[in-house]
Structure 1
Amino acid sequence: MTETLKLTNVVKYYQDGDARIEVLREVSLAVKPGEFAAVVGPSGAGKSTFLSIAGALLRPSEGQVYLAGQEITQLSQKQWTKIRLEQIGFIFQNSELIPYLTVMDQLRYMSVLAKRKGQEQRAQDLLTHLELANRLQQYPAALSGGERQRVAIARALMNDPQLILADEPTASLDSKRGREVVTMLRDEVHANHKAAVMVTHDERVLDLVDTVYQIEDGVLKKKD
């Protein structure tokens, strides 16, 4: 089975005069379809850099990144944009919904960006599945934190991506709502054979994922 996401010996460093500052050190990871992985670690450990490289937002200094078997490290920025729109769904720490768009329009906008037509029913089905059918015409300001994150999950799934990347999705939620959101994400990954990587500080939800990695000082290791 081809891994949806594969990083091989990825290094990221910056030059500061004669000094080389390493943010990621020989990071390797593979996430298969239907697998939900979490990456945990302290602030400054390299989590954000790792997620940016995995999501085709930042080039590694060394090493390779594969998405569904395709090596993407050397692709152009234009090709990266296409990959992000069509193959990767992002869920951000504070949902990052567009404040002047309704719940339904958040998802419609994703279709517009990807130049996909006839997606109205898919948007409705996703929102209904995530228990938001009665909130379609609401704006983000009228939603609870948990509802906003559920909209963010629906938006991430709108273009049927192969890979979902979640950056601290429970950070602004209480423990109950945070667990609900991660449970929904897990269920989507397993039911629809997606691959997902969640960067988190929240160890209370780690029992919901399939694989846990620890990152510290730029070194990634699988936890037992």
Structure 2
Amino acid sequence: MINIQDVTKIFSSKMGDVVALHELNMQIPDNKFVLIKGPSGCGKSTLLFTLGGLLKPSSGQVKVLGKEPFNMEEKERTAFLSSQVGFVFQSYHLIPYLTVLENILFSKNAGNKDVSEEQAQTLAEELNITDRLKHYPSELSIGEKQRVALARALIVKPELILADEPTGNLDPENTQVVLDHLRKFQQSGGSVVMVSHGNEADHLADCIISMKKGKITNIRTN
């Protein structure tokens, strides 16, 4: 369960304060595929990073999987997020000096999970990147990089995946591969919260949250 109450996030700059999130309230049950949609700058990614414990709100309460990450000590929060929450970023965040296999296995150390190279190879086969396991990120296509990032998130078997525009830079074929695996993860008992500009994942969503100017304007359940 994700539960946020009266969450506000304000960024301060020389030009003045910017309210990125304004008194948001939301509950998301477990085992759901949720989309967060809205125009650029509406607060979608800020909300996702807040749910993932990466961006502390200026005020309000955030509960994720029964825990309050911002009330934890940093070490405890890092351990919780690494083991229970998988992140898939639009910009991939792959480590350039590690091979594809090493990138996929990297999160096992942070998550303190019993993950094997065999599991990584199985995921790579499912995502059609087996022939890239010894390559480095600079040698990959955009679609391959995103599939590596997805494998890295999936391998620790988290309870929740947070995906920030994971198909934004992909062609239709790679978009479908990524969406199929996110759906498979959700159907196996996990939860997915995905930020999206487009409509390609609408048919998969149990719930679509619309945002505008830092506010939730509509929550539609399917």
State the partner residue of 2:212.
Answer: 216
Cα 1:155/1:50, change in 2 over 3 Å: same
The more displaced of 110-119 and 207-216 is 110-119
Paired residues in the alignment total 219
Give TM-score, length-normalised by structure 1: 0.87
State the partner residue of 1:183.
Answer: 180
State the partner residue of 2:30.
Answer: 33
State the partner residue of 2:64.
Answer: 67
State the partner residue of 1:133.
Answer: 130
Cα 1:15/1:148, change in 2 over 3 Å: closer
Q: Is the contact between residue 107 and residue 123 of structure 1 (CA under 8 Å) also seen in structure 2?
A: yes
State the partner residue of 1:94.
Answer: 91
Q: Which residue, out of 188, 192, 206, partners 1:196?
A: 192
Report the alpha carbon displacement of residue 155 of structure 1 after superposing the two structures with TM. Answer: 0.2
Q: Is the contact between residue 91 and residue 152 of structure 1 (CA under 8 Å) also seen in structure 2?
A: yes
The more displaced of 122-131 and 157-166 is 122-131
Q: Distance in 2 between matches of 1:22 and 1:147?
A: 36
Structure 1 residue 52 corresponds to structure 2 residue 49: yes
Report the alpha carbon displacement of residue 206 of structure 1 after superposing the two structures with TM. Answer: 1.8
Structure 1 residue 167 corresponds to structure 2 residue 164: yes
Report the alpha carbon displacement of residue 121 of structure 1 after superposing the two structures with TM. Answer: 2.6
State the partner residue of 2:73.
Answer: 76
Q: Which residue identity does 1:204 align to in structure 2?
A: E
State the partner residue of 1:105.
Answer: 102
Q: RMSD over aligned Cα, in angstroms?
A: 2.2
Q: Is the contact between residue 70 and residue 77 of structure 2 (CA under 8 Å) also seen in structure 1?
A: no
Q: Is the contact between residue 104 and residue 149 of structure 2 (CA under 8 Å) also seen in structure 1?
A: no
Q: Is the contact between residue 12 and residue 23 of structure 1 (CA under 8 Å) also seen in structure 2?
A: yes
Secondary structure class of the residue paired with 2:200: helix
Q: Which residue identity does 2:202 align to in structure 1?
A: L
Secondary structure class of the residue paired with 2:54: coil
Structure 2's unaligned 5+ residue stretches are none
